[in-house]
Amino acid sequence: MIIIRVALDVPVDSLFDYIAPDATQLNIGSLVRVPFGKRFMIGIIMAIANDAQVPHEKLKQAEVIWQDVPPLPATLIELFEFCSRYYHHPIGMVIMNGLPTRLRSSKLLPQRASAPSLFRLTDAGRAIAPSSIPARNKIKHRLLAQLKEAGSISSKEAKQISLRAAGTLQEFLLQGWVEKVLIEPESALNTSSPLQLTAEQITAINAIRAEIGLFNTWLLHGVTGSGKTEVYLQVTAMLLKQNRQVLILVPEINLTPQLEAVFRARFPATYLVSLHSRLSPVERMHGWLQAQRGEAGIVLGTRLAIFTPLPKLGLIIVDEEHDHSFKQQDGLRYSARDVAIFRAKQTDIPIILGSATPSLESYYNAITGRYRRLCLRIRAVKNATLPVIRYINTRAIQLKEGLSEPLLLALENCLTQKQQSMIFINRRGYAPVLLCKSCTWLAACSRCSSRLVLHLAQKNLRCHYCGHKEQLPPACPQCGDQDLMPFGHGTQRIEAALAKFFPEARILRVDRDNIRRKEAWQSMLTAIHQQQVDILVGTQLLAKGHYFPNLSFVGVLNADASLYSTDFRAEERLFAQLMQVAGRAGRAGTAGEVLIQTEFPDHPLYHALKHHDYDAHAQMLLKEREITHFPPYSYQALLNAEAPHIDVAIEFLTTATKLIEPVKQIEIFDPVPAQMARLKGLERAHLLIQSSSRKKLQLFLSDWYIKLCKIPNRKVRWALDVDPLEF
């Protein structure tokens, strides 16, 4: 009897034994369908043995082992095992988190999708006169015109002309008008740059090229507009010539279309797969399988793409590496950036971390020699300079609808010169607070420790944490006063104010409320680039990674809110956010200007920002972190607990502390309510564990995690968060 040990998506940190159905089909890493309780589940074979860890009479038989999905490679299983150990999460849940949802289903898989074919026009095809094709055959005319213009067309491009174009191409193939060609990586390369490379770019590219086959963590620290993407492209070309695969990680789905377009334009015949949550489950599964089969030369995706199987992986790029979106905040609480570094080391390949504002951890690793730092200090476009940053002291002047007079004049000047401008406010909705002036009632969420945000156009109140909605009340529910007042400003209110001040301006609001449709963001980008927009109003969706050549002015509202935060990382985040959003201005030949409305124009953060001096600000923050013994001078873990009542959560954490034996270099803080004490109907608390040694912290957590799993308390949901970013 042959036994297979299977990892399943259940919150138990162990493997499950089953009788193998057919010894000839066994492979470690294969998907398998097994009975579990009263249902069937998909799992992964992690080991094959001759004996079981439970009595044989209790063993059940595995029913189906998928043959149309290749086994997970050993390196990927090793990566999953590392994540399970480091983040202290059950191995089955770690693996299933990394697989496309469609592969976790026990339903039959859709037909295999292959990489698109490329059809090239032959001499016979070039000789065909359009007049010889009947006028009614419009698809044939359009295909032939496209082929004569471009010389070749992919099956994917043909589908964009018509869904019936694939059949027409097969007709052309039989008639000898086109030939089907294999896409060779070498023929796919267009290494020429539309811009002349700067000396700093050449230095960075040559440094990476010299050690292209070795593991190194390169921190590409370049100011906004300095041409980091061009460095990515040049290094990618080196790897594609070697028939290797390149993985590119971006923090936000909204950054994928623009970066994808750049890579497709540079490598038109290299098959590129994009992986993110806006794809359908079948689309994501096919992209994942094409990467696993080695068909995709470039894989571009958000954080989950780090778990894509890539048999010929030669390079990992993490763009905007400082972004907190790379850290998952529920389930497996992993950092895609940190896992990417481990994966690069595991496969002995280089990894490039790119940012204009590196995280303090990455910056510290660079200045202490653990990472290799490459600096791009000037903008890549000729005559493009960093924008001039000025401050408007809002304590000294009166605001109109949240906007100061100098800011309104700057917007008017941009409109006169037919240049684009942007107003940045990191609050969506109309107003963050609905207030009764008579009794000071505030509209609050019944499920969270937060206020409901007024969305005036939809006439409702929404919680931006749990999604709860309720109708706008006609009067105060506490005192009956009908004079309810919106307090504060969100993107919708600023949009309405700008429409009043500049009725002729074309205003576009960009926030999560109006990019929910699949194609909405792409159509907005097109409108911006075609100069169909005069003023942009947006949140952090506009702050990073975007290239708007005609944007010359940026106004920033409500920047001071982060200065009041109790989070020790708040100032680091604010500086990064403001530097990124300021960097949208003046990226082409147009001079850029940034106006920031603030009550604290003399704050050291604003002083460093004015001089675009990231290093000075980072050095100041590092001194503060060293004094307080916070990361990167220590390593942290957070034990989170959620329960219907805060007392139950605190009691669980107190019990957890009693399981701890005193350990040198391990500091345990008392249990406290979380900053957001109530979320989605549950009350939350946590306790912090800190150590100056990562190794000692991990040894402590491994032992403690086993004890935590044995605490009998069904009323509490708990999780360990290693290297936490949110408290």
State the pLDDT confidence band at 406, using cuts at 50, 70 and 90. Answer: very high
User: What is the number of alpha carbons within 13 Å of residue 208 lying toward its C-beta?
Assistant: 31
pLDDT value for 727: 85
How confident is the model over 138-167, as pLDDT tens digits?
A: 888 888 887 877 777 777 677 767 777 778
Q: Average pLDDT of 507-529?
A: 82
* pLDDT, tens digit (0-9, with 9 covering 90-100), for 211-267: 999 999 999 999 988 899 999 999 999 999 999 999 999 998 877 888 888 998 899
Q: Fold match between 3-75+85-104 and 635-722?
A: no
The residues pairing with 595 across neighbouring beta strands, listed in sequence order, are 390, 555
pLDDT attached to residue 185: 42
Q: How many helices (H) and strands (E) does the chain have?
A: 20, 31
d(CA 334, CA 351): 18
Residue 108 in this model has a pLDDT that exceeds 60: no
pLDDT for residue 57: 79
Q: What is the DSSP letter of 198?
A: P
Q: Which structure tokens are listed for 514?
A: 């109006």
Mean pLDDT within 446-463: 92
- pTM of the predicted model as reported, rounded to 2 decimal places: 0.87
**Hey, where are the domains in the chain?**
3-75+85-104, 118-182, 199-376, 388-431+488-623, 635-722
DSSP 484-504: EEEES--HHHHHHHHHHH-TT
According to the model, what pLDDT value does residue 186 have?
40
How far is residue 256's CA from residue 274's CA, in Å, rounded to a whole number?
8
Distance from C-alpha of 296 to C-alpha of 264, rounded to nearest angstrom: 12
Residue 511: pLDDT over 60: yes
Q: Would you say 60 and 3 are in contact if contact means Cβ atoms under 8 Å apart? A: no
The 10s digit of each residue's pLDDT in 659-673 is 988 788 899 999 999
Residue type, 462: R
Domain 388-431+488-623: top CATH class: alpha beta
Question: Mean of the per-residue pLDDT values for the chain?
Answer: 89
Q: Is 269:116 a contact under the CB 8 Å cutoff? A: no
Query: What kind of architecture, by CATH, is found in domain 199-376?
Result: 3-Layer(aba) Sandwich (3.40)
How much is the pLDDT for 109? 60
Which of 26-40, 125-139, 501-515 has the lowest average pLDDT? 125-139
- pLDDT score, position 114: 54
Q: Which CATH number fits domain 3-75+85-104: 1.10.10.10, 3.40.190.10, 3.20.20.150, 3.40.1440.60?
A: 3.40.1440.60
User: What is the mean predicted confidence (pLDDT) over 81-94?
Assistant: 96
3-class state of residue 45 by DSSP? strand
Residue 369 banded pLDDT, cuts 50, 70, 90: very high
**What pLDDT sits at residue 188?**
42
Class of domain 635-722: alpha beta
Report the b/e string of 315-346 with b at 16+ CB within 10 A: bbbbbbbbbebbbbeeebbbbbbbbbbbbbee
Report the residue count for the chain: 727
Instruction: Give residue 528's pLDDT.
Output: 87
Tokens of 542: 């506009």
What mean pLDDT do residues 444-452 have? 93
What value does the mean pLDDT take over residues 497-520? 87
Q: How far apart are CA 614 and CA 357, in angstroms?
A: 7
Q: pLDDT for 313-350, tens place per residue?
A: 999 999 999 999 999 999 999 999 999 999 999 999 99
Residue with more model confidence, 690 or 590: 690
pLDDT single digits (tens) 256-308? 888 888 998 899 888 899 998 888 888 888 899 999 999 899 999 999 999 99
Mean pLDDT lowest among 476-480, 525-529, 639-643: 525-529
